[in-house]
Amino acid sequence: MLAKLAIAFLLLALTVLIHAAGLAMVMRRLPMGRGVPGLGFFASVWLLIRLAAWVVVIHIIEITGWAMFYWWKQCLPDLESALYFSVVTYTTVGYGDLTLVKGWRLLGGIEALTGILMCGWSTGFFFAFVSRIYKPSLEAGK
C-alpha cells in the first residue's frame, strides 16, 4: 500500500509540475504582466476566452496523464475507460459507474484531491487575471 501511495504522490507531483509549467506558458503568451489599459469589452472577453481555453487544455493534459497511468497498469479495461474515469474523478463529478481495480482504488481519491487543488489554483489564477484586466477601469471610476 505504501508503494502505491508513493506512486499517487508522484502523479500528484507530475500534475503540479504540468500545471505550473502550463500557467507559466500562458503568462508568456497572454498580456498578463500589467494592467491592459484601453482594452475594450470585446477584446477583454476574447482575452478571457483564450485564457479559459488554455487552462482547460492544461487540465486535459493532467487528466490524460492520470488516465495513461491507469491504462498502463491495467486498472481499467481500456484507454477510453481510463480517460473517462480520470475526467470524472479529477473533476470530482464521481458518477461511480467505473471503479479502479482492487489494489489501486486509493489513487482515485488522490486524483480527486489533486483535481480540486488544480481547479482551485486555476480559479485563483483566473481571478488574478480578471482583476488585472479591470483594475485600470476600476481605479478610473473612483
Q: What are phi and psi of 92, to 5 degrees?
A: 60, 25
pLDDT of residue 9: 97
CA distance 78 to 89: 16
Distance CA 9, CA 13 (A): 6
Residues 65-109 have pLDDT tens digits of 999 999 999 999 999 999 999 999 999 999 999 999 999 999 999
Above 90 in pLDDT, residue 135?
no
Output the average pLDDT for the chain: 91
pLDDT digits (tens, 9 = 90+) for 67-77: 999 999 999 99
Percent of the chain clearing pLDDT 70 (strictly above): 89
Q: For the chain, which domains are there? A: 2-140 (1.10.287)
pLDDT at 23: 96
Q: Note whether 30 and 125 are within 8 A (CB).
A: no
Name which of 4-13, 36-45, 65-74, 109-118 the model is least confident about.
Answer: 36-45
